Structure 1
Amino acid sequence: MKKKLVIIIIFFGFAKIQAQDRITVAIGSNSTFIETYNKNSWSDEFTLTEAYRLGPTNLKTLKEGVKTSLKWIDLNDTHNKTFQKEVCRFKTTEKESFKFHGYVDQFATEMVMIFNGEVDGTFKIEIKPYNSFLVFITFTDVEMLKGFKDLLDGKSANNEVDDIFKK
């Protein structure tokens, strides 16, 4: 039986400096890989910064966390409160470690999604290793988060790419 691998790419173009310039999501039959890239200052090329594998259960948890965050964005915009809240936790494995060992719980990293709402209605959502200052992905724009949700749901940022895979 052939395994189907769909690669979906989204580019984030925005004025604010973020933790990543580009995010890719590759969805396979039993694994989803999320990779971040930064644009090189000396060329137009991108360099891989981090790559993680999520299993089906952890992918579901992340998707639910993104949906919850979208609801909280609307609430924060309405109520204009400053708060910080953990949205969800899920386990990932670094891509290279997964390729070498497969899934081993001792090599898994617990990730956390944190929502930070501000009194002016703005927000910041970070996905990072639990109890770490290092940030894997940062969202400060609702459209960026919606685009990420679409990627996790198997939709592309580019409708032409979706049409190719439908054929």
Structure 2
Amino acid sequence: MKIKLALIIILFGISTHQAQDKITVAIGSKSTFIETYNKNSWSEDFTLDEAYRLGPTSVKTLKDGVKTSLKWIDLNNSHYKTFQKEICRFKTMEKELFKFHGYVDEFAKEMTMIFYGESDGSFKIEIKPYNSYSVFITFPDLERLKRFKDLLDGKSANNEIDDIFKK
């Protein structure tokens, strides 16, 4: 498979479940890969935590979910309600399984994006496996969610990277 564009963003966040130090999004012709990395406490290196492949339908669903989240953030800022709501569900496949087998529905994992609104106007958004307590990605603030949306839309976190791929 040929990857057209690789985008990297560093997200530093605090979460009660898990914090991702770095998220990468690689967009190919028929697949998008999202990987999370955590920084090693003993060095400056990052360790791959999780990596998933999303097909075109799942990417569209995730993009729509991010757009919905942005609207809900505005609503929560004006209404100040405590609530939890599932935004969307989409299928993913672990990257290594996909590389070995191609897409096999039995190996796919259903993920869910959940919005947690608080009465003070704050929020948290989690992407996690459906019916699981483990969390794949957490967005505790608007800026990180917007940067993730930009990556899904093909905009790089670094203009130098865009220049390399344009050549």
For the aligned pair, the TM-score class normalised by the smaller chain equals over 0.9
Task: Report what 1:164 is aligned to.
Answer: 164
Task: Report what 1:112 is aligned to.
Answer: 112
AA aligned opposite 2:153: D
Contact 1:53 1:94 in 2 (8 A): yes
AA aligned opposite 2:22: R
* Percent sequence identity over aligned pairs: 76
Aligned-partner Cα distance in 2 for 1:20–1:4: 23
Contact 1:3 1:29 in 2 (8 A): yes
AA aligned opposite 2:80: N
Given the superposition, is the C-alpha separation of residues 4 and 136 from structure 1 closer, same or farther in structure 2, using an over 3 Å criterion?
Answer: closer
The structural deviation recorded for 1:157 is 0.7
AA aligned opposite 1:13: F
Aligned-partner Cα distance in 2 for 1:117–1:162: 35
Aligned-partner Cα distance in 1 for 2:157–2:117: 26
AA aligned opposite 1:6: L
AA aligned opposite 1:75: L
Contact 2:3 2:26 in 1 (8 A): no
TM-score by length of 1: 0.95
Task: Report what 2:8 is aligned to.
Answer: 9
Task: Report what 1:49 is aligned to.
Answer: 49
Q: Please provide the CA RMSD for this pair.
A: 1.2
Q: Are 1:92 and 2:92 counterparts?
A: yes
Instruction: For structure 1, list consecutive stretches of 5 or more residues without a partner in the other structure.
Output: none
Instruction: For structure 2, list consecutive stretches of 5 or more residues without a partner in the other structure.
Output: none
TM-score by length of 2: 0.95
Contact 2:12 2:20 in 1 (8 A): no
Aligned-partner Cα distance in 2 for 1:163–1:51: 26
Larger mean CA deviation between 116-125 and 16-25 belongs to 16-25
Q: Secondary structure at the match of 1:5?
A: strand
The structural deviation recorded for 1:161 is 1.4
Contact 1:19 1:135 in 2 (8 A): no
Alignment of 1:5-154 (within 5 A): 5-14=4-13, 16-17=14-15, 18-154=18-154
Aligned-partner Cα distance in 1 for 2:116–2:82: 7
Q: 4+ runs of 1 displaced by more than 4 Å?
A: none
